[in-house]
Chain A
């Protein structure tokens, strides 16, 4: 049976340096994503980042649903479970609650997490289960060959929407924040340094960590995030959030984020027009989710003003911990062997004896 372990809240480093390398996390399976897929970059980033957690491979589990991204576990030399469409957060919740000694990562996509699995995603987030949820968002259905997804833009022309999609998309981060997520971040497949910095923070977080990764599908939605990657545009379009730093961006630092008077949210202004003290200083630990929500609403037309980094990072008791504590405290009060307790339980209530 599994050892009764201290509820440690997941990602537990061992005291001894394990000296693992990226190679240790590569499985013997041939990677079968399309050549040029953004998933390769994410896989390599994850494999080369995991050794720094100093967690033994056997205590790491990757759980996925269905879709291109969900093949991820097969390529990781850890424990892995490739499950069914949309259900990975539910399956991972059961594992996390019963095995607090494990570091559990959910790999999902925009269709898997936000369409068929939307319910499980929001409930995992509100419960704050100790899971690291990596949502590869390519704004298209890849594995079924090119239908629009819940993050595809309105009017998107795809195989299933030849006249343009009539669906308004989800903003995944707004959704996660509305679902009471305690850790919400966004990063990009092609920026390994940034991606790994976000993964590091997610791993350290106690509770659900929701990470949206912009990922390019070079077959069905190529270039969806080019404006955030091309040297000519990226610095003017991307807002790199740094905790404790004023939110200033643009190739010349020419833009900044302010709280316009009278409004509810945040807005982008020319830095030159704004007194320095009015520029918002980023604080991911603000309890009030409205701030992170306002950040999530900043992106405008054609990916302008897209924040990346950690939007929100707050502390709240985790579901698995609370559940474990109830079980542990009940066990601590119990006396006698399990068999004796069972006999007592069966004989409880009104009994009578026939001689």
Chain B
């Protein structure tokens, strides 16, 4: 039977099921297949903190959304065109996000009376007409998978668990995805259990063949490759990109990398990833707590390594005293905060721009540090390199504010040439630096960067003592002198201000916008998509996005002054807006949302339209 093939420019699919249904893996594989095809992609995993929440319940629903298109896209999409619901809970939890007319593929085997009751359905939504506005595809995913695997030498449970591969096969057929990489992946994943590999591959193929033969799916879709700059790409999550950025910083600086970390969601994947790269001279230590993790990293920096610690908000709170020590010691240190919803434990698997205040101000004493934030998953690679550059050049702690959205989301990454990456080589002090050349002055500064020399233990003749007590300028001796303390506090502030950061760029294609949208970090995609939407409708709006939060770009004040209104959307209650208002006396509009989810482009577009029309 030959099926009709329809061309689409973009599709958003959401895979949803129980935490144990393998939805993250399914989404991941679909994304990889899609990447192979050359579509632009953006993904949004959304899962509970519980590893196995009670089966079939609403809190146990885990989902993975993938947006792919034949043009460059900025977000994982506001509303899915297709929902794959593996059980009633997954349907109920996600239905409200679907526009009318969307395709819903449900696993009918799970729509039992018991499962329906569990989530409060009185009658089956598959029968009661409540889904009439959608295109419903009831598929007996579990039983068809089990039947397809009848000849395989695996347990019934393992056969049932392969239903996610059946679903993946069906969707791969539906959207004409190349499947070779998934077959290879399954062979690798189950390399030690060939029976399982064969069964999962068979389930995948059964799903594919079902799509091809059943009349329920009359149309097959194609999304053509996007026009992207030439080069080699891979799909990458923010945490993976950040890890590779740290490895690259080690290579480009020629320094050993030392990561001290304590497991915490959503940062642990960086520890996992970096622990695989020992051949680059990367040492990883799973410390006894957050404080030890940063302490060990600082100890390694003192010894001449690039010290890094990775954590999330609660961990940064614990590390505060050590960050302050690093400010006093003036040693390089990179602190990665993969932000999550707070306060306290909050919502560990949900995103939030929670910690800008803490990064900028959350320490005792006047303890300024550099702060930067990546704007997208692939950008985490470059942000890590930039954090290392500042830390090594300026001998300062740098806080890198990633968040759960960019950390777990993914996008295609145009792989860079190694030679194009910044040169991060450093000079250790090797000889006395006093005017008479006889003594070593550990706090004698470079006139341009105001950084002090990095004299590592093992260097003859430069033996010296440093510590948390206030230091006399130049000699580094303990000092309680009032004028010296005033000088040192101001110098530490000046050191951060002396960091050269690129000017902020403004995207104002028509050059006539009266409204500027200013963002930082992971809101780049949704803000960009909203601005595009407005411009397509003939409205002018300018977008500027901050990578450097401390120090701020030198031209920022001048940029802000050019616009009638400045709008600052943040996934917090206005932490950047507070800084901008205080520093530039600009009456910025702070637009906030703290739902644990990224902004949708649609809601930003609606909000901005109001502002633009009234400006």
A residues neighboring B (CB under 8 Å): 1-3, 27, 29, 56-59, 61, 63, 66, 73-74, 76-84, 87, 90-99, 101-102, 119-120, 123, 323, 326-327, 330-331, 333-334, 338-339, 341-343, 345-347, 349-355
Q: Among B280, B296, B416, B461, point to the contact of A94 (Cβ < 8 A).
A: B296
Contacts of B469 in A (CB 8 A): 82
Min CB gap A103→B, angstroms: 10
Contacts of A56 in B (CB 8 A): 460
Question: Can you name 14 A-B pairs with beta carbons within 8 Å?
Answer: A1-B254, A80-B467, A87-B291, A91-B298, A91-B302, A94-B260, A94-B307, A97-B283, A98-B303, A120-B288, A123-B287, A331-B281, A338-B251, A346-B418
In the complex, what residue of chain A is closest to B254 when comparing beta carbons? Answer: A1
B297 adjacent to chain A (CB < 8 Å): yes
Give chain A nearest CB distance to B464 CB in angstroms. Answer: 7
Whether A78 contacts B463 in the complex (CB less than 8 A), given A91-B296, A94-B260, A333-B279, comes out as yes
Q: Is the CB of B256 within 8 A of A98?
A: yes
**Contact present for B468 and A84 (CB under 8 Å):** yes
A74-B247 contact given A80-B465, A331-B278, A333-B279, CB 8 Å threshold: no
Chain A proximity mask over B509-543: 1 for CB below 8 Å, otherwise 0: 00000000000000000000000000000000000
A120, A323, A346 — most chain B CB neighbours (10 Å) = A346
B83 partner residues in chain A, CB cutoff 8 A: none
Contact A347 B304 (CB under 8 A): no
Contact present for B460 and A58 (CB under 8 Å):
yes
- Contact in complex: A355, B230 (CB < 8 Å): yes
CB distance from B289 to the nearest CB of A (A): 6
- B465 touching A82, Cβ below 8 Å: yes
Bound form: Cα–Cα A19–B464 in Å:
21
- CB proximity to A under 8 Å, residues B463-481: 463-469, 477-478
From the candidates B228, B244, B299, name the one contacting A91 in the complex (CB within 8 A): B299
Do A338 and B292 touch across chains, with their CB atoms under 8 A apart?
Answer: no
Q: Is there a chain A Cβ closer than 8 Å to B219's Cβ?
A: no
* Inter-chain contact A347/B234, CB cutoff 8 Å: yes
Q: How many A-B residue pairs have CB under 8 A?
A: 209
Judge if B447 is at the interface, Cβ distance under 8 Å.
Answer: no
A87, B463: Cβ atoms closer than 8 Å: no
Cα distance A101–B457 in the bound complex, in angstroms: 10
Which chain B residues lie closer than 8 Å to A90 at the CB level?
A: 287-288, 291-292, 295-296, 299
Which residues of B are found within 8 Å of A330, using beta-carbon distances? 278-279
User: In the bound complex, do residue B258 and residue A120 qualify as a contact, i.e. CB atoms below 8 Å apart?
Assistant: no
Asked if B321 is an interface residue, CB under 8 A from chain A, the answer is yes
Binds A, one of B32-40, B368-376, B580-588: B32-40
B361 CB, min distance to chain A CBs, angstroms: 19
**Hey, which chain B residues are within 8 Å of A343, CB to CB?**
418
- Of the candidates A95, A346, A353, which one forms a contact with B416 in the assembled complex, judged by CB atoms under 8 Å apart? A346
By the criterion CB–CB under 8 Å, are B464 and A79 in contact?
A: yes
- Sort chain B's interface into a size bin: 35 or more
- Chain B residues packing against A (C-beta within 8 Å): 32, 35-38, 181, 225, 228-235, 244, 247-248, 251, 254-256, 258, 260, 277-283, 285, 287-289, 291-292, 295-305, 307, 321-322, 325, 329, 415-416, 418-419, 428, 456-469, 477-478
CB distance from B266 to the nearest CB of A (A): 21
Q: CA separation between A132 and B321, bound complex, in Å?
A: 25
CA distance A97 to B466 in the complex (A): 20
What is the bound-complex CA distance between A59 and B461, given in angstroms? 11
Q: Taking A81-B465, A351-B415 as contacts, is the C-beta distance between A331 and B299 under 8 angstroms?
A: no
Pick the contact of A350: B181, B278, B288 (CB < 8 A). Answer: B181
- Given A80-B465, A97-B283, A341-B279, A353-B231 contact (CB < 8 Å): yes
Across-interface contacts of A102 in B (CB, < 8 A): 303, 457-458
Task: Using A82-B465, A94-B258 as known contacts, say yes or no to A352 and B38 having CB atoms under 8 A apart.
Answer: yes
For A2, list chain B residues within 8 Å (CB). 256, 303-305, 456, 458
Q: How many Å lie between the Cα of A346 and that of B246 in the bound state?
A: 12
Give the chain A neighbours of B296 by CB distance below 8 A: 90-91, 93-94, 97
Task: Take A58-B462, A345-B244 as given contacts and tell me if A123 and B292 are in contact as well, using a CB distance cutoff of 8 Å.
Answer: yes
Nearest to A328 among chain B residues (CB) is: B278
Q: Which of B260, B292, B418, B459 contacts A342 (CB 8 A)?
A: B418
